[in-house]
Amino acid sequence: MGKAGLDKHGMEALLSLLTIMVKIHPIPALSVNPAQAKQVTCVPYDIVSREECRTLAKDHPNTLLRVDRADLEFPDTVKFNTPEVYKKAAQNFAQLIKNQSFLKEARPTIYLVRMIEGKHRQRGFAALADFADYASGQLRKHEFTRPDKEDDRVNLIRHLGALTGPVLAAYPDLPELTAQMNEIELTVKPLAEVTDERGVIHTVWRCPDPAEIVKLFTQVSRSYIADGHHRAAAAARLAKEKHGPLGILTVYFPASELRVLPYHRLVLKLDPFTPATFLEEAKKVFQVTPSPTAPPDKTGKIGLFLEGKWHQLSWKADEKSDPVAKLDASALQDRLLGPVLKVKDPRTDVRLDFVGGIHGTKSLEDKVNSGHASAAFSLPAVSLSQILAVADADQIMPPKSTWFEPKLRSGFYVHQFGPNQP
């Protein structure tokens, strides 16, 4: 049938069929000097405080953390987003290139990335995500970004002329891509390997045939940002500039190899409630039962630690409700934190704090027992299928509801697209 024979819906269906593929590009990259990989590579910039950055950077003059978080070199009175911080970051980045901590790749490259933590292994391909995929929703999002954090990354990237922090994305498993991973692991010598501060082993290989990886990804229907929404949004904004990045620096992991941990909540102050009256409010909207420990990591079971004791808050989602409403974080916010404590935005309310699942529920007990917080909520981990369902429905996850572990290490490769501004 010719174009004239297609109605509006037929054209939309045809265009949909033509675009159901993930488009990636090899990275025009600088890669870490293998001899300096332990010194240069670092934790993601957004999971550490300025003080923690100073500790990690101590005795490491060539760490990329001095680029991603140049504010560590300034007094606390200097804000993280002042012009002198970006200028210092650019100077530090230029120095890393000058002293050959980073080496220019001979050709655009795709990398195989592997992280091993105990018995857990996950592998992915580092490449550039296509900006059109991001704009169209082919690379799907599930979080809002904060303007101040997005602006910070835009200013840093513009000063560096480079993308330094990778986005973590998931894709539905494709056996042919998994076979490529297996072959590279067995037959190719690693570019570099580093054991990080927590004992996670990070290994990176150059893929010998980037074109084959690009071709195989066209068989993948869709990909999902799991972690790094601010990095992705910042890169996409800069794509509109004359000398901008050529894509979004991204590591694509098959969904089956990703691990999602819980993200817990602390209530710093219960005012105007006492622990006893707050517990009574919880009983009005949840089935509350005493528990000897934190409840099991199971959907529909929320833990409340109050005055040295655990309580289990049980609830059941309406199967007809949307994917967001079925999440435990939504139930906690919509039933208790919002209507009772009047928490309108969990991201900005000063009465709330958050604890990543990597720290365990013992850390919640310690925070309450020490008086740092008045109450703590343990939440079960969100499943990857729940995250994908939210993204596919074009909805947004509740703030601070996913914690991916292990975290990608920055600095094995960066996408240099222009001169920096030291």
- The CATH number given to whatever domain includes residue 362 is 3.30.1760.10
Tens-digit pLDDT profile for residues 276-302: 999 999 999 999 999 999 999 999 999
On whether residue 210 sits in a domain, the answer given is: yes
* Position 115 pLDDT exceeds 50: yes
pLDDT band at 367 (very low <50, low <70, confident <90, very high): very high
Tens-digit pLDDT profile for residues 159-194: 999 999 999 999 999 999 999 999 999 999 999 999
pLDDT of residue 19: 52
pLDDT of residue 14: 39
Query: Which tokens is 412 given?
Result: 């094995």
Q: Looking at the structure, do residues 322 and 244 belong to the same domain, yes or no? A: no
On whether residue 183 sits in a domain, the answer given is: yes
On whether residue 11 sits in a domain, the answer given is: no
Question: Quick check: helix, strand or coil at residue 110?
Answer: coil
On whether residue 72 sits in a domain, the answer given is: yes
On whether residue 176 sits in a domain, the answer given is: yes
pLDDT band at 403 (very low <50, low <70, confident <90, very high): confident
Q: Looking at the structure, do residues 168 and 53 belong to the same domain, yes or no? A: yes
pLDDT of residue 67: 98
**3 contact partners, CB below 8 Å, separation of at least 6:** 11
* Position 332 pLDDT exceeds 50: yes
Q: Looking at the structure, do residues 308 and 222 belong to the same domain, yes or no? A: no
Q: Looking at the structure, do residues 272 and 251 belong to the same domain, yes or no? A: no
β-strand pairing of 201-206 with 111-117: antiparallel
Q: Do residues 370 and 415 lie in contact, with contact meaning Cβ atoms separated by under 8 Å?
A: no
Find where tokens 């100073």 sit.
54
β-strand pairing of 352-356 with 263-267: antiparallel
Q: Looking at the structure, do residues 153 and 165 belong to the same domain, yes or no? A: yes
Q: Which domain holds residue 43?
A: 21-259+406-416
Tens-digit pLDDT profile for residues 241-278: 888 999 999 999 999 999 999 999 999 999 999 999 99
Q: Looking at the structure, do residues 412 and 397 belong to the same domain, yes or no? A: no
Dist. CA 415–CA 162, nearest whole Å: 5
What is the rounded (10 degree) CA torsion for 261, 65, 125, 246? 120
Q: Looking at the structure, do residues 236 and 321 belong to the same domain, yes or no? A: no
Q: Looking at the structure, do residues 128 and 237 belong to the same domain, yes or no? A: yes
On whether residue 315 sits in a domain, the answer given is: yes
The pTM is what? 0.85
How many domains, in total, are found in the chain? 2
Q: Looking at the structure, do residues 289 and 244 belong to the same domain, yes or no? A: no
* Position 7 pLDDT exceeds 60: no
Q: Looking at the structure, do residues 247 and 282 belong to the same domain, yes or no? A: no
Tens-digit pLDDT profile for residues 50-100: 999 999 999 999 999 999 999 999 999 999 999 999 999 999 999 999 999
Q: Looking at the structure, do residues 175 and 228 belong to the same domain, yes or no? A: yes
Dist. CA 274–CA 52, nearest whole Å: 34
On whether residue 47 sits in a domain, the answer given is: yes
Q: Looking at the structure, do residues 116 and 68 belong to the same domain, yes or no? A: yes
pLDDT of residue 11: 42
On whether residue 14 sits in a domain, the answer given is: no
Average pLDDT over the chain, rounded to an integer: 92
User: pLDDT over 70 for what percent of the chain?
Assistant: 95
